[in-house]
């Protein structure tokens, strides 16, 4: 049962305004969201205590999950030599299969152990093993689509320690290609080796591009190297170099710098690569890092960073086809990411980029309908903990929901691994998956199979710990007045122009929520009237009704755990509701399981029912009571007597509190006396849901001194004696 209430008489000016005669549901500014993702389930231990690192977590098309991780081969001897293992969680189970060891000599510092998904559904793992002297072996193994065992590792090539991190890509059942860059005097050589088919030997490396400079120019530096194979089997390699001066590894300026941006392509079924061509979209943009990916719609996408400018985006349909017009994304300036994120494409064609900016986790989304990128959105206003390129792990569900997970320092030697999700309404409030103390850091990774996210996390400090896994669950129906998405009743209050959520602890206490938890939304017009509501649009999140000072009524659909802001998506439900001096939601009055609204006319005292229609709007109003001007307060109280129907409380001028039981037909039964000589000093009374955690709807009141009182519900229609639960509540308008 859901409930919410905005109570108390309006000013004389507002009361004199004529009631709207036929308010109707307005046009939605956004489409209604489907059922929102649920909470995370119970964590399971995947591996016992060790100094784990999760290097990759990927979901296959069949729903199986694959994790690449390492740990010291011999912790007593060296932490630099690592045991590299892969582990599979088959489709339809939460149990991880036994790990398969790929290497007992993977190198810790060369930072090349990678798990790479391919467009044909296969996976490639590649890594480096240190040799005596200054060389290392590049090795690779593959997992074919649908397989559970990895291929035996093969040696790709011998690399120098100082070679740039390599890439291995292609198909487990077809051709594999490896590329890397080697420093030469004044520049770089780009090398390639290939394995034509499973069981074949890798070719000897060949040079496919060289860029050097004379003594008068700066040294060429590789800033971007990426490769991809699209779903048709077409392959491409893109790279960028520049000769900008560096000082201690950083750029010292761009004046007079030259750029070398190129791409080579190989058509599906071909054995030879085409000639290298200029990567024309990068011309004149002072490019840096770049990223090439397979586009789910076919062809390739290209994302690249620019010096001091926005991250840019383009795509092409096939080898030889022209690139689309360059688009500036919403990631720029303060929101410029620390690494280039993988484009996440949803079923509607919308594309989202998620990554860590300088001090926040941010995203931007390209609308397939309009072809434009939205402004940067903050998933969290705190800087994630971790190196560039690994600070944020993200994925997208088949329904278009974007998920992300990241670690953060929270002070006093404590760390958290948290996650959030984004729907069309924005980012949910971050949810904590793990917390460590005593300067023990925590790291992890996230992926999505179908519509279900899964995260791995581990104690990433030198002390180590077990490796845990957890998956998302389905979302149940929301608890009454739960706006923090934690299953507990909360209270909303407007102070000036700021809406704040006061989080209930299911023990009768309320605490001010934080900005980080999505519990504060500033910028509302002074005098906006809010009504805490149930789920009006069927997404299993409680919604909020706001009536602006102009009288326009809006139903806001806030992301999970966050309060709506003035610019949040909403549905207009009325043009001018200033004529109502009470708007309150008693829960379900009509027996259809949906939250309903009661509105009282200031001029006549007549009470109208607006039945929720399940699509973020209301049916046309129906008068259910008349002449209620004598009641100083009308309160939507939720289910007070345990019959599953919403009930209403009304306080008259003599201090008598009456209960009107809901009948489930949209009508109210005859009144029953609850209290005598009650509430004369109360300036606000709220049907607050179950604040004390006993499963019964309670009553919250604030007196003229700003003291908050709780009357616990008894479950049979009455209340217990009041309990003082707070002070200093003057100046807050409750809802």
Cα–Cα dist 617/612, whole Å: 6
Q: What is residue 630's DSSP assignment?
A: G
Contacts of 133 (CB under 8 A, 6+ apart): none
> What is the β-pairing status of strands 65-74 and 78-89?
antiparallel
Q: Are 113 and 102 in contact (CB under 8 A)?
A: no
Mean pLDDT across the chain, nearest whole number? Answer: 88
Q: What is the pLDDT of residues 263-315, one digit of tens each?
A: 999 999 999 999 999 999 999 999 989 999 999 989 999 999 987 789 999 99
Cα–Cα dist 126/115, whole Å: 7
CATH architecture assignment, domain 490-734: 5 Propeller (2.115)
Cα–Cα dist 705/682, whole Å: 9
Cα–Cα dist 391/380, whole Å: 13
Q: Which helix (H) or strand (E) holds 500?
A: strand 498-504
- For 90-215, where are the E strands, in sequence order? 100-107, 114-117, 123-130, 135-143, 154-160, 167-170, 176-184, 187-195, 206-211
pLDDT mean over 57-67: 93
What is the SS3 assignment for 586? strand
pLDDT mean over 122-146: 93
Q: Are 407 and 415 in contact (CB under 8 A)?
A: yes
For residue 542, pLDDT beyond 70: yes
> Can you give the pTM of this predicted structure?
0.89
The pLDDT, as a whole number, for residue 19 is 41
Instruction: Give CA separation, 217 vs 221, 222, 340, in Å.
Output: 12, 15, 28
Q: What is the pLDDT of residues 633-645, one digit of tens each?
A: 999 999 999 999 9
pLDDT mean over 81-85: 92
Rounded to 10 degrees, the C-alpha dihedral 566/569/572/575 comes to 20
How much is the CA Rg of the chain, to the nearest whole Å?
A: 30
Q: Are 165 and 111 in contact (CB under 8 A)?
A: yes
The tokens describing 141, both together, are 């193994």
For residue 316, pLDDT beyond 70: yes
Q: Are 110 and 136 in contact (CB under 8 A)?
A: yes
Q: What is the pLDDT of residues 488-526, one digit of tens each?
A: 999 999 999 999 999 998 888 888 877 777 889 999 999
What is the SS3 assignment for 306? strand
Instruction: Give CA separation, 339 vs 255, 355, 378, 439, in Å.
Output: 24, 7, 16, 26
Q: Are 48 and 66 in contact (CB under 8 A)?
A: no
For residue 163, pLDDT beyond 90: no
For residue 364, pLDDT beyond 70: yes
For residue 339, pLDDT beyond 90: no
Q: Where along the chain do its domains lie?
A: 348-474, 490-734
Write b or e for each residue in 480-490: b if 16 or more Cβ atoms lie within 10 A of its Cβ, otherwise e: bbbbbbbebbb
The pLDDT, as a whole number, for residue 381 is 85
pLDDT mean over 398-411: 93
Q: Are 358 and 408 in contact (CB under 8 A)?
A: no
The tokens describing 715, both together, are 């479950």
Q: What is the pLDDT of residues 140-151, one digit of tens each?
A: 999 999 898 999
Position 390 confidence tier, pLDDT thresholds 50, 70, 90? low
The pLDDT, as a whole number, for residue 245 is 78
Cα–Cα dist 341/222, whole Å: 19
pLDDT mean over 221-232: 92
Cα–Cα dist 659/525, whole Å: 34
Q: Tokens 């049962």 sit at which residue?
A: 1
The pLDDT, as a whole number, for residue 27 is 37
Position 33 confidence tier, pLDDT thresholds 50, 70, 90? low
């Amino acid at each position: 049962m859901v409930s919410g209430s905005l109570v108390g008489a309006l000013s004389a000016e507002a009361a004199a305004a004529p009631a709207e005669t036929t308010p109707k549901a307005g046009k939605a500014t956004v489409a209604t969201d489907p059922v929102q993702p649920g909470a995370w389930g119970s964590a399971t231990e995947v591996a016992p205590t060790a100094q784990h690192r999760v290097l990759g977590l990927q979901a296959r098309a069949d729903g199986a999950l694959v994790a690449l991780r390492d740990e010291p081969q011999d912790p007593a001897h060296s932490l630099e030599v690592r045991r590299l293992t892969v582990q599979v969680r088959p489709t339809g189970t939460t149990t991880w299969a036994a790990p398969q060891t790929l290497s007992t000599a993977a190198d810790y510092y060369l930072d090349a152990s990678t798990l790479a998904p391919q467009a044909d559904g296969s996976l490639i793992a590649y890594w480096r093993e240190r040799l005596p002297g200054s060389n290392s072996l590049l090795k690779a193994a593959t997992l074919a689509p649908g397989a559970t065992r990895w291929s035996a590792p093969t040696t790709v090539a011998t690399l120098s320690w100082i070679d740039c991190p390599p890439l291995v890509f292609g198909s487990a059942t077809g051709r594999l290609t490896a590329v890397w860059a080697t420093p030469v005097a004044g520049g770089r050589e780009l090398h390639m080796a290939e394995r034509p088919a499973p069981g074949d030997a890798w070719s000897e490396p060949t040079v496919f591009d060289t860029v050097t400079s004379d003594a008068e120019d700066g040294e060429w530096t590789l800033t971007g190297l990426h490769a991809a194979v699209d779903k048709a089997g077409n392959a491409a390699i893109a790279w960028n170099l520049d000769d900008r001066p560096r000082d201690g590894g950083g750029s010292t300026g761009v004046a007079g710098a030259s750029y070398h941006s190129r791409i080579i392509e190989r058509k599906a079924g071909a054995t030879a690569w085409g000639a290298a061509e200029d990567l024309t979209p990068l011309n004149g943009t002072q490019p840096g890092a770049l990223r090439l990916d397979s586009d789910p719609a076919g062809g390739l996408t290209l994302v690249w960073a620019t010096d001091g400018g926005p991250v840019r985006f383009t795509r092409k349909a096939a080898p030889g086809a022209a690139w689309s017009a360059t688009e500036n994304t919403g990631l720029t300036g303060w929101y410029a990411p620390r690494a280039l994120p993988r484009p996440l494409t949803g079923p509607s064609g919308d594309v989202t980029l998620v990554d860590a900016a300088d001090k926040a986790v941010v995203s931007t989304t390209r609308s397939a309908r309009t072809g434009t990128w939205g402004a940067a959105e903050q998933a969290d206003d705190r800087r994630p903990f971790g190196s560039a390129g690994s600070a944020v792990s993200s994925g997208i569900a088949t329904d278009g929901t974007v998920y992300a997970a990241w670690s953060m320092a929270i002070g006093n030697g404590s760390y958290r691994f948290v996650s959030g999700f984004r729907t069309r309404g924005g980012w949910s409030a971050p949810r904590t998956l793990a917390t460590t103390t005593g300067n023990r850091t925590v790291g992890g990774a996230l992926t999505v199979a179908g519509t279900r996210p899964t995260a791995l996390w581990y104690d990433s400090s030198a002390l180590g710990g077990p490796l845990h896994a957890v998956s998302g669950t389905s979302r149940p129906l929301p608890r009454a007045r739960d706006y923090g998405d934690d299953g507990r009743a909360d209270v909303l209050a407007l102070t000036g122009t700021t809406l704040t959520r006061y989080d209930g602890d299911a023990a009768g206490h309320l605490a001010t929520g934080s900005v980080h938890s999505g519990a504060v939304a500033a910028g509302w017009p002074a005098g906006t009237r809010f009504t805490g509501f149930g789920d009006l649009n069927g997404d299993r999140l409680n919604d909020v009704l706001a009536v602006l000072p102009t009288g326009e009524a809006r139903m806001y659909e806030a992301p999970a755990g966050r309060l709506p802001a003035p610019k949040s998506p909403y549905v207009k439900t009325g043009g001018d509701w200033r004529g109502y001096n009470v708007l309150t939601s008693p829960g379900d009055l009509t027996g259809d399981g949906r939250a309903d609204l009661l509105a009282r006319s200031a001029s006549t005292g007549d009470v109208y029912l607006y039945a929720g229609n399940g699509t973020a709007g209301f049916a046309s109003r129906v008068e259910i009571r008349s002449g209620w001007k004598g009641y100083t307060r009308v309160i939507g109280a939720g289910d007070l007597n345990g019959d599953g129907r919403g009930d209403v409380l009304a306080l008259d001028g003599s201090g008598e509190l009456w209960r009107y039981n809901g009948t489930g037909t949209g009508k109210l039964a005859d009144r029953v006396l609850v209290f005598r000589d009650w509430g004369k000093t109360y300036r606000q009374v709220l049907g607050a849901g179950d604040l004390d955690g006993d499963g019964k709807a309670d009553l919250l009141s604030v007196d003229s001194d700003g003291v908050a009182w709780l009357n616990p519900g008894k479950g049979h229609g009455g209340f217990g004696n009041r309990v003082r639960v707070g002070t200093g509540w003057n100046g807050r308008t409750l809802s």
